[in-house]
Amino acid sequence: MKMVKEVAACSVIGTVVMVGYGVAWSWVSVASIGMGAVSALIMAVIVKLSVAFEKITSAFCLQQQSWAKAKRVLTSWLILVGSKVAAMGAIVILFGDQVQFSGPVSGVLAFYLTIVSILIIESLISKTAKRYRQQPVAAE
């Protein structure tokens, strides 16, 4: 249930970021809020699954006898970067002209900046919510 809530929150944040970038930034083009929402959902699912998979492979690599840390770094990088490329590819294939990332490196830079923005905003909201929940309620 926690992962569903995280994906839902990330999707809402992603939709706002995608549509906002689509309006304000020439490197991102989103035809509609619906396309932004579906794209954000795809990104959220792929990001959350890749992070979960990375944790599993990380633990496995650290149990190895030789080159454990090097294997961990390499597999983590491949999984996390590869998953973003897969997400971008899925969005481009599914939506074509309706959702586009352009600019340097055939839009990869814009896509990564979009993902990083979503993750930063999600982290800030999560930290703020935790801080708010931990504050004692004053008795009246």
Q: What is the DSSP string of 12-53?
A: HHHHHHHHHHHHH-TTEEES-HHHHHHHHHHHHHHHHHHHHH
pLDDT (0 to 100) of residue 26: 92
DSSP assignment of 77-88, as one string? Answer: HHHHHHHHHHHH
Q: Convert the pLDDT of each residue in 12-66 to its tens digit.
A: 888 898 889 989 999 999 988 988 888 888 888 888 888 888 889 888 888 888 8
pLDDT at 139 over 60: no
Residues near 49 by beta carbon (within 8 Å), at least 6 away in sequence: 83
pLDDT at 7 over 80: no
- Identify whether the C-beta of residue 120 lies closer than 8 Å to the C-beta of residue 17: no
Q: Convert the pLDDT of each residue in 119-128 to its tens digit.
A: 888 888 888 8
